[in-house]
Chain A
Amino acid sequence: MTAALAIAAIVAAAAVVLAALPFLRDPSPAADRFERQDELERRTLELAEERDRALAALKELEFDHRTGKVSDDDYRRLVGPLRVRAAQTLRALEPEIPEPQEPQPPPSPSPEPITPEPVPEPYPPDEITPPAPPLVPEPGPRN
């Protein structure tokens, strides 16, 4: 019984010390408020997420095109707006990047299947270091 109470007292004391540790370690801090996102940071993070989403979508589209899930026509129609969006978010995050060009209207269907070139290496989605897409919105058919 005595041993049990002694162990219980040790458990309780350890819990109190652990909870009090931040105050014991830092009894008089210069600042005791944790920081919170401000509007600028919130917007920046949203843009970063949007950028990653756009780049991932480009890679996804590229891969789907390579595996035959997306036809050439669909690829041409979808890739332009995605590139523009990726470029816009990149530019918003890094203002030194030049303005993206206006998206061109979809080109007429090509008689031959296109081999997309815009993304240097087509990756499966969610890969590290997504390739920065060039700022030319449409690859155009090869003639």
Chain B
Amino acid sequence: MAPLGRAALLVAFGCLTYAALAGGYAAARRRRRLALSARNALLAGFGATAVAVAVLVAALLRHDFTFAYVAEHTSSELPARYRISALWGGQEGSLLFWLLVLTGYSSIAVLAARRAGQDLLAWVVPILGTIGAFFAFLVVAIASPFHTQTAPPDGLGLTPSLQNPYMLIHPPMLYLGYVGLAIPFAFAMATLLARRGDEMWIVVTRRWTLVAWTFLGVGQLLGAHWAYVEVGWGGYYAWDPVENAALMPWLAATAFLHSVMIQEKRGMLKVWNMLLVVLAFCLAIFGDFLTRSGVINSIHSFAQGKVGPWLLGFICAVTAGSLALVFARLPMLRARTRLESLVSREATFLYNNLLLVALCLTILWGVAFPLLSEAVRGQTVTIARPYYDFFLRIFGLPLLLLMGIGPLVAWRRASLRALGNAFLGPALLAVATGIALIALGAGSSRPGLIAYSFSVFVLASIALEFARGTRARRSLAGGSWPAAFGSLVARNRRRYGGYVVHAAVVLLAIGVAGSSAYQTVRERHLRPGQSMEVAGYTLAFQGTTEGQSSNARELRTHLLLSRGGRSLGSIAPGKNYYPAERSSSNEVAIRHSFLTLEDVYVIADQIDAKGGGVYFKVLVKPLVNLIWLAGAVFVLGSLITLWPDAREERRLAARYRAEGALVRV
């Protein structure tokens, strides 16, 4: 079936190239039928890509080792679920999956926005077509997943660390996030090309940006949890370039989601918003470059890499082209209003934007500097964790504080008296928390103490905002408190959904501060019968067992865990050995406490399977489970924000329908 896969990809490439070229001509010459034809070609590109993906998935499931990709990323013993996830486990497959998501998103976007202005949509199609054609070119000519060979007796298997349930969902989530940023980018560039100064592109892409941002955020949290339970070093985020690759566009998109509100409410920051959209999209492609070019391990592997130079060239072309277009349209983007006061809601949004972008660019520099250093000077330089931690504190803590300040400040202008009244309660609570923490002995980490105090300030300000809003709503409409609360949220989902997301970020901050600033780590070599004490816990080593799963030999050590004489059960960290992959993995044991949200995290190393000693590393991580809880709250807030608001949709439709038939909403 490989010829079918190749043919389908060729058709996809042809369709997307046609969508780009014919669509561009149609948009420039205002050719109605040709524009529709280009749009249909974009849809056909998705259909053909779906056929190619179906061919590869079928080959993966059938163990068809005549496909080189299947032989390189699966083995006959690999469970079926990981044969499916092998689709995105290798470079060629992941590029094909990227193309599928891109063409799928593009198709939905142009169909969903078909009532937007034709002149706008006519430009969206060739932009999405160009991006799609580029990735189709990569899988057709540079990194095809349909190379065939004489079938070997067995495949090489999938990297053990990827044989984890999180790998079934984490990469697709990230891809849905990365690729989703192409949609607001395409509409933003289209509005410039169509010389439209209105904000329809923002209205059309608002939900797209939120969806991409949510997927990217959830994907990162899932990746962090995967690293925590699977990679086995005791942490969840290592500032690895691949992790940073997802964080950077997420930060840029976060900045955009905030600043676009200023444009909607005040008609300001139009140029800034365009630049943020370009930055977010380019960083998304840069993320793909980092993860797929091989540039991270060594600059030499990049030189030998197949897709790296192409991706880098594409990023340069997109950046240069987009910036040139933005600067060419500067007069159209000029704002007619100005910031009235530095103490206002919009000013806090602006400060938030500056901090987010500064953090994003700092991380970008941390990722890019070692690459540049090796490329230019031939010296290998490593930017280590302290660099990132330092700038996270410098920019992150003020950002946290701003999340509490923002909701309390009025739009346009706020008097100091009103600010004083609004801040008094949350500020007192924050100070009291800081004092209480010092009294409880938690003053050992100053950043942790500040983070906790700021977190309380933010949570208090959010609670206050909900309480005041509910009271105002109830005084207007009457009814019960729950009804007033529901009505308040339903009537402005973006605002109150946003506050829920802020609460999630606060939970995340508390979890990160607790689990990093206040964690306890002990390492010890134990023989059966010996025990060790860590932060009030006792771990008694019982012995070692050996088992066998379908594709791995499993060594487990058994420890009895207790605290204050009370047994907490047994845990079994160990290692898996994968003969097909000729590799091993750490299988850590984690004991969660749902009461204190604390984890006891145990890594077993240098295991003597014949009953000898084992080297244990034990980490007690306070409040770490708040990080995962934050993920659930984040999704809840995003869903509230994303939930369709029929009244707002009608209002916006009326705006565009009423103002001239030619807008054709």
Q: Residues of A at under 8 Å CB distance from B?
A: 1, 4-5, 7-8, 11-12, 14-15, 18-23, 26, 29, 31-38, 40-42, 44-50, 52-53, 56-57, 60-61, 63-64, 66-71, 73-74, 77-78, 121-130
Contacts and interface: CB of A to CB of B under 8 A. Distances in A.
Interface string B417-447: 1100110000000000000000000000000
Contacts of B465: 67
B609 interface: no
B198 interface: yes
A122 B473 CA distance: 9
A15 B476 contact: no
B655 A128 contact: no
Interface residues of B, number: 77
B3 A44 contact: no
B11 interface: yes
Contact of B660 (A4, A19, A40): A40
Interface string B33-48: 1111110110111011
Contacts of A23: 33, 37
Nearest 4 Cβ contacts at the A-B interface: A128-B647, A8-B7, A15-B44, A4-B4
B528 interface: no
Contacts of A121: 476
A90 B517 CA distance: 56
Contact of B410 (A32, A64, A122): A64
Interface in B26-59: 30-38, 40-41, 43-45, 47-48, 51
A15 B4 contact: no
A15 B266 CA distance: 45
A50 B267 CA distance: 8
Interface in B238-297: 264-267
A73 B415 contact: yes
B198 A8 contact: no
B408 interface: yes
B492 A34 contact: no
Given A18-B44, A35-B662, A122-B476, A69 B30 contact: no
B415 A36 contact: no
A20 B410 contact: no
A68 B422 contact: yes
Contact of A49 (B1, B31, B48, B199): B199
Q: Chain A: interface secondary structure? A: helix
Given A29-B32, A41-B663, A128-B650, A74 B196 contact: no
Interface of B: 1, 3-4, 7-8, 11, 14-15, 18, 30-38, 40-41, 43-45, 47-48, 51, 117-119, 122, 194, 196-199, 264-267, 408-415, 417-418, 421-422, 465, 468-469, 471-473, 475-476, 488, 491-492, 494-495, 645, 647-648, 650-651, 655-656, 658-660, 662-664
B110 to A, nearest CB: 13
B41 to A, nearest CB: 4
B35 A34 contact: yes
Contacts of B662: 35-38, 41
Given A29-B32, A71-B415, A129-B651, A34 B43 contact: no
20 contacts: A5-B7, A8-B4, A11-B8, A11-B51, A15-B11, A19-B41, A20-B37, A21-B37, A29-B33, A34-B118, A42-B197, A48-B655, A57-B265, A64-B410, A67-B471, A71-B417, A73-B415, A124-B495, A125-B495, A126-B492
B43 A124 contact: no
Contacts of B119: 34-37
Contacts of A77: 413
Given A12-B7, A67-B469, A128-B650, 13 more contacts: A11-B51, A15-B45, A15-B47, A35-B662, A36-B119, A44-B660, A46-B197, A67-B465, A70-B410, A73-B415, A74-B410, A122-B472, A124-B491
